Amino acid sequence: MDVWSSLMDGFATALTPMNLLFAVIGVLLGTAVGVLPGLGPAMTVALLLPVTAALEPTSAFIMFAGIYYGGMFGGSTTSILLNTPGESSSVVTAIEGNKMAKAGRAAQALATAAIGSFIAGTIGTALLAVFAPIVVQFAVSLGAPSYFAIMVLALLAVTAVLGSSRLRGFASLALGLAIGLVGIDSVTGQRRLTFGQPLLVDGLDIVVVAVAIFAVGEALWVAAHLRRTPLHIIPVGRPWMGKKDWSRSWKPWLRGTAFGFPFGALPAGGAEIPTFLSYVTEKRLSKHPEEFGKGAIEGVAGPEAANNAAAAGTLTPMLALGLPTNATAAVMLAAFTSYGIQPGPQLFSSQGPLVWALIASLFIGNFLLLLINLPLAPVWAKLLQLPRPYLYAGILFFATLGAYSVNLQAFDLVILLILGALGFMMRRFGLPVLPLILGVILGPRIEGQLRKTLQLSAGDPAGLFSEPIAIVVYIIVAIILAWPFIFKLIRRNRPVPATSIPGNSGATVPREAGGVSHGSHRADGTVDGDGDG
Amino acid sequence: MSSIATGLKGRAELGVALLLGAVGVLVFLDANGLVTPYSQSDPVGPKTVPFIVSGLLIVCAILLAINVLRGGKGEAEGGEDVDLAHPADWKTVLPLAGAFILNILLIDWAGWVISGTVLFWGSVLALGSRRYIRDFLISVALALLTFYGFYLGLGIALPAGLLEGIL
């Protein structure tokens, strides 16, 4: 019962009045910012990183826990009330959620989303608490060759599986790796890509990079395409559910959780695939299939639960292996490193109390969300009416402030602008942002593992394959890379498109879901297509 | 009309390929310029990974150029406030970038309160608000609030600049 007692210690840390206050602040900030259009949880954490730098790590991470789940919940509120999801993970929620809201059932849609998120988040966090130490036990036996292989897998999987264009994903990854190279080489002390500029010697601050790509790039991009006609916002009262809604919701919640957690925990995680799978499953199992497309509550309950369970699942590889698989986890990893803490197998032994306090506050944050957000939903809906000039000017203002306060040098703001312009360009030409961020964060660590591996083998490349786990991982990498070709072969041999029976063939669904991640229009099209087929 | 427009857009994306290629060459040249004797303890050396990265960049650049010339197109990102129906509105973006640059130039000399005010006020106006006085007051309040908030709450002293002694 080691886990149990550690977790109780974690609760003891997290429940001190001061830390509880940070959790409440985190939940409120996370939801408020998550509700605001254009701001996702990753950007929220990135913007708040500099602010938390003055806090002690435990308090900061307790606050991050609140922000993490709060941002998720805020995102789904927006997609239900506006039908324009800000994040790819809430695309599926918007399909039925907005239809429900239009039919005057916004209160029930928000309620099933909030309660489903709570249940999925709680189960997901419990699974995290159980599985993370197991993964750690497994991970301490791994050497540099296996780590190198796993990190390569994570990068390739995130790049190749998510998003609609693999080529553009790899372009983004390569840019990220190049940015990660800037600065002094840790082994030989050589300066790389510094161009004689002394301020670049320490490398680019990850906070500056994240704020530039997420916040500045987004603000500039939205400014260029600002919607001049205000969106119609559906007014909402206090969320509640009737008896019938409960009986139709509880099974989708549990099934969504079952989809979400494993996908989140995989190196190629993310919430897009499980939310889509959950939606398709609920549609097939529903006693009211005719309601799908017109506002079926199952279509909100399942994907929302899947989304939150995936969010919890993502933290497993992040904490146990130091491997982030979504943007928010990547930024949280950056936060860890800025405190001088290295996530990975040693984390649980070296920073045990901190990690368990973080896990405990995930439970607390989840509970607070339910407690705070059900009554506050009408207030959050009002936030959607914030005039856009103030909103985006505010994002730029706080992005600048955050990036400047890290080192108090104007040079960082120049970097912020340049990388912000890069973020703008990436949004314009459909380059996904996540591979770039992961490349910046994981690039230097991958290089470290590679050099360690070949150091051990005295320069013999065979050293890369010296551990069985590494070989297994390389086989998976090969399958992922060859996947489009295999897929084409399967298609050619089977003239009936497999897409017409989604849910039955795991082979095709991830491809579809990959498409979902790029905007609501395509998602709508995909799902309608399934209905017709 | 529309064919000309799409042709232009296609050419714009070639710029992305050009950028990737340029960064790739830059990374290669930089790594090539490093002088390191072979060492037993570090057989990989500081050059290997930059070479791989530059290779990846250049391959991506070439493939992207081919993809674009064949009519491939990156999907512009949507969002709550994004209306992709109208073209990029540079009359908003350039003044916005201007306010940002002004802040960079002013921050060390004039201090955060002044440069922050300029940044927020300039951005709000660039984004289309026309309530000059009210926006100005909000900007000043925001800049002062963050200045004192960071100083008192977080112990981070943002530059006071010209207002040194008053604040």
pLDDT of B125 strictly over 90: yes
Mean pLDDT over each residue of chain A, to the nearest integer: 82
Is the pLDDT at A425 greater than 90? The verdict is: yes
CB contact under 8 A, B92 and A518: no
pLDDT tier, A73 (very low <50, low <70, confident <90, very high otherwise)? confident
Say yes or no for a CB contact (<8 Å) between B156 and A405: yes
Cα separation, A88 vs A71, in Å, equals 13
Describe the crossing of helices B48-69 and A166-181 by its angle, rounded to 10 degrees: 150
Pick from A1-15, A368-382, A414-428, A502-516: least confident: A502-516
**Helices of type H across A140-242:** 144-161, 166-181, 206-210, 217-224
DSSP state of A231: P
> Which one has a higher pLDDT value, A502 or A252?
A252
What pLDDT does residue A502 have?
41
Burial class (CB in 10 A: 0-12, 13-18, 19+), B152: exposed
Cβ–Cβ of B124/A390 closer than 8 Å?
Answer: yes
Q: Is pLDDT at A70 greater than 80 in this prediction?
A: yes
Tens-place pLDDT, residues A339-381:
888 888 888 888 888 889 999 999 999 999 888 878 888 888 8
Among B27, B74, B153, select the one facing A431 at the smallest CB separation. B74
pLDDT of residue A511: 36
Question: Given a cut of 50, is residue A514 above it in pLDDT?
Answer: no
- Work out the average pLDDT over B10-21: 86
pLDDT tens for A92-149 read 888 888 888 888 888 888 899 999 999 999 999 999 999 998 888 888 888 889 889 9
Residues 6+ apart with CB under 8 A from A232: none
- Average pLDDT of the residues in A257-274: 82
- Percentage of residues in chain A having pLDDT higher than 90: 18
Preferred mutation among A222, A406, A414 to probe B, highest tally of B CBs within 10 A? A222
d(CA B96, CA A220): 8
Residue B104's pLDDT is 94
pLDDT of residue A330: 84
- Tallying the residues shown for chain A, one arrives at 533
Q: Report the percent of chain A where pLDDT is more than 70.
A: 89
> Residue A43: is its pLDDT beyond 90?
no
pLDDT at A500: 41
Residue A234: per-residue pLDDT: 73
The string of pLDDT tens digits covering residues B52-66 is: 999 999 999 999 999
| C-alpha separations of B103 from A65, A125, A188, A413, A441 in Å | 33, 43, 38, 9, 28
* Amino acid A508: pLDDT: 36
Q: Choosing among B68, B127, B137, B138, which should be mutated to test the A contact, i.e. which has the most A CBs within 10 A?
A: B127
Q: For position A455, what pLDDT does the model report?
A: 87
Residue A168 buriedness (CB in 10 A; 0-12 / 13-18 / 19+): buried
pLDDT score for A495: 57
The identity of residue A159, as a single letter, is T
With vertex at residue A368, the alpha carbon angle to CA A252 and CA A328, rounded to the nearest 5 degrees, is 75
A497, pLDDT greater than 70? no
Among A38, A454, A458, whose Cβ lies nearest the Cβ of B81? Answer: A38
Our CA angle for A444, A398, A195, nearest 5°, is 40
Nearest chain B alpha carbon to A399: B100
Instruction: Give the pLDDT score at A231.
Output: 66
Mutate to test the interface with B, among A396, A408, A454 (most CBs of B within 10 A): A396
Token code pair at residue A403: 């990036």
Q: Which of A76-90, A138-152, A459-473, B129-143 has the highest mean pLDDT?
A: B129-143
CB-CB neighbors (< 8 A) of A185 in chain B? 46
Confidence band (pLDDT; 50, 70, 90) for A507?
very low
Mean pLDDT for B12-31 is 93
The arithmetic mean of pLDDT across residues A390-418, rounded, is 89
Residue of chain B minimizing CA distance to A421: B97
pLDDT bin (cut points 50, 70, 90) of residue B76 is confident
What would the mean pLDDT of A286-293 be, rounded to a whole number? 85
- The yes-or-no verdict on residue A180 having pLDDT over 50 is yes
Counting residues of chain B whose pLDDT is more than 70, the rounded percentage is 92
- What count of other Cβ atoms lies within 10 Å of the Cβ of residue A491? 15
The rounded distance, in Å, linking the Cα atoms of A363 and A128 is 11
pLDDT value for B8? 52
- Using a CB–CB cutoff of 8 Å, tell me whether A225 touches chain B: yes
Q: What confidence tier does B12 reach under pLDDT thresholds 50, 70, 90? A: confident
Cα A446 to Cα A436: distance, rounded to the nearest angstrom: 14
pLDDT of the residue at A163: 67
Looking at residues A301-314, what average pLDDT do you find? 90
Greater model confidence, A340 or B110: B110
Specify the higher pLDDT residue, A455 or B19.
B19
pTM (predicted TM-score)? 0.82
Contact B74 A82 (CB under 8 A): no
> ipTM of the predicted structure?
0.90
Of A38 and A69, the structure prediction assigns the larger pLDDT to A69
pLDDT at B1: 43
Per CB-CB distance under 8 Å, the chain A contacts of B18 are none
Please state, in angstroms and as integers, the Cα–Cα distance from residue A25 to each residue in A21, A67, A280, following that order: 6, 8, 36
